[in-house]
Structure 1
């Protein structure tokens, strides 16, 4: 058994400076310590996959993050581990617990299957792992191995068992309460532009901001309008763009515009609560809503009844807008917001007939985007 502060102090020595994740009783000492001790920073996520995306965003922004969660939620993290971290070679340190350990103490029935396959699960995804350190002497060597993997742009996991970390009481937790919910500015009209036209305006009026495009047609159209270092095209991890953007905003001063889609946002809408809670003023969440899944044949997404801007306001976003006209988008792209802004823009369905795909590999996209954020 080790002390939480000893482990976290060594994490800091190895450069891991941001912690994110979801709760587990086994993780309670570590999470309590990152919250209670002023030298550490914990970003609570609503979903394990979003914690992975936040950690990946932190690397792009110049940081190094730890994502920790219960093994029952490892399944929620598979998509961003395989199609974000692995596809782009974006490293992070993961800690997953081992509820339902075979031969261990009796546990709840829902943990039985995952407990038996947790290590195999990581191995199938070709993610290196080792047991969480159990003594003070094991901490530094274990984290050194994790950092060596990190420096090679590979994720690394510790599997934590019951009793690996001594108790640590939660002494404080600041509530990031919004003073007043933002009023939604309603400017929907029947005058809709295409996604290509909207993206052209974003590129023209982004003023050097980093552009993070959700998976699907948004990234492909952005690429066809001009491939450059400020663009990041998500080729998977559907719904994780806002969390990836938050990880960037927490570690880089550069303004980031997340270009989201209605289907993607509804897949992981819980991340809006996290964005609203941290309310970074260098992050803009732009939703291009055409009410269909364009990439898969134009099936209805179900977004026609969803008041996204009202949800953003309820989650704590600083400013929230409903627009459809080009001039309104231009005006908002020129605005300096006081916190995270949400722009719900209705657009036409459809995309160009001859739409290309990025020829730059995801690994190259990540490398040049990271360098752009440094500039």
Structure 2
């Protein structure tokens, strides 16, 4: 057993000072120490997958990030681990606990199976891992091994923490006072029949022409990224492949570590429905440079046009409830163009809901640059700002 500072201070000396994740009783001393101690930043994520994406965005922005969660939530993190950090070569440190350890201390029944398969899952995902150091003497070589692996391979490294690896540490800081009175009023401004709306590509053309190279733009997976590439490939654009629903969390991590750079996230309705909770994190941390644009065609356009449920959903009202400061909605292209000009000047976390109809250009291609190449040039762009 070691105290939290015996690992965290040497980790900080290696540059690991951005932490995100979800709680676990095994991790409690770690999370508490990070929250209490100057020189660390901690983002409370709503789930483990979002934490991976937040850390990935922070890493691309130039930070070294650590993700912490209970192994029961490892399943939530599988998709962004295998299709975001692996695919884009983004090295984050992961610390997962080992609840339900075979032969270990008695635990709750819901941890039994996950405890048996946690390390096998890590190996199936081709993740390099090691047990968390149990003595102060083991810390330096453990961190050295993780640091060297991450730098050499540009891939995550995982520490598996067992019960009582970390000594108790009680949180000293008091949480911010909760809001007592809420008054939310929002009216969406959608005027056109579905078939009278524009498709997605003209929306992307308007945005790119207006923004040019003045902001970092993250396009969600599927046809949004593919169409954005076809509109014009630029170094400030990242086209997500896979990791569906993680564009906002990735953009949030980036926006928090690059506060002088405007960060625009292009989301889709199916993707945002999948991870709506990331809006709560964005609204809570309120990065002033974050613009979240939802292009909503009420369909899973990339998989055959099956409908989503967003025809009856007011995302603007949801954004208001989650704490976004500026909210816009429209289904007119000319109005969207006006909104883009306005949000470029905003200095508050902003949400834009743009309704479209489904449909893409015939013979829509795919990016000819690889995700790894996109990641390198995108990181160079954002880190130069």
* Fold equivalence (TM over 0.5): yes
Partner of 2:199: 194
Structure 2 contact 17–39 (Cα < 8 Å) conserved: no
TM superposition shift of 1:143: 1.2
Structure 2 contact 255–287 (Cα < 8 Å) conserved: yes
Distance 1:59 1:233, change over 3 A: same
* Cα deviation 1:225-260 (Å, max 9, x = unaligned): 111111101010000000000111111231111000
* Cα deviation 1:261-298 (Å, max 9, x = unaligned): 00000001111110101111111000000000000110
1:209 to 215, 221, 230: 215
Structure 1 contact 193–347 (Cα < 8 Å) conserved: yes
Distance 1:181 1:283, change over 3 A: farther
Partner of 2:273: 266
Partner of 2:160: 159
Partner of 1:356: 365
Partner of 1:30: 30
Partner of 2:100: 100
| Alpha-carbon distance between aligned partners in 1 of 2:337 and 2:244, rounded to the nearest angstrom | 27
Structure 1 contact 262–290 (Cα < 8 Å) conserved: yes
TM superposition shift of 1:154: 1.2
Which one is further off, 233-242 or 182-191? Answer: 182-191
TM superposition shift of 1:176: 8.0
Which one is further off, 181-190 or 290-299? Answer: 181-190
| Alpha-carbon distance between aligned partners in 1 of 2:317 and 2:177, rounded to the nearest angstrom | 19
Superposition pairs of residues 176-187 of structure 1, within 5 angstroms: 184=186, 186-187=188-189
| Alpha-carbon distance between aligned partners in 2 of 1:9 and 1:183, rounded to the nearest angstrom | 46
Distance 1:196 1:338, change over 3 A: same
Structure 1 contact 101–112 (Cα < 8 Å) conserved: yes
* Cα deviation 1:139-196 (Å, max 9, x = unaligned): 1221121111221311000000000000110111443867976753632220522100
Secondary structure of the 1:12 match is helix
1:337 counterpart = 2:346: yes
Partner of 1:281: 288
Secondary structure of the 1:313 match is helix
Query: Aligned residue pairs: how many?
Result: 375
Partner of 1:323: 330
Structure 2 contact 131–159 (Cα < 8 Å) conserved: yes
| Alpha-carbon distance between aligned partners in 2 of 1:77 and 1:181, rounded to the nearest angstrom | 35
Gaps of 5+ in 1: none
Partner of 1:237: 243
Structure 1 contact 66–95 (Cα < 8 Å) conserved: yes
Which one is further off, 213-222 or 329-338? Answer: 329-338
Partner of 1:249: 255
Structure 2 contact 296–356 (Cα < 8 Å) conserved: yes
Q: What is the TM-score of this pair, normalised by structure 2? A: 0.94
Partner of 2:16: 16
| Alpha-carbon distance between aligned partners in 2 of 1:355 and 1:10, rounded to the nearest angstrom | 49
Structure 1 contact 239–267 (Cα < 8 Å) conserved: yes
Q: What is the TM-score of this pair, normalised by structure 1? A: 0.97
* Cα deviation 1:80-100 (Å, max 9, x = unaligned): 000000011111000000000
Secondary structure of the 1:184 match is coil
| Alpha-carbon distance between aligned partners in 2 of 1:80 and 1:167, rounded to the nearest angstrom | 31
Structure 2 contact 188–314 (Cα < 8 Å) conserved: no
Structure 1 vs Structure 2 CA RMSD? 1.5
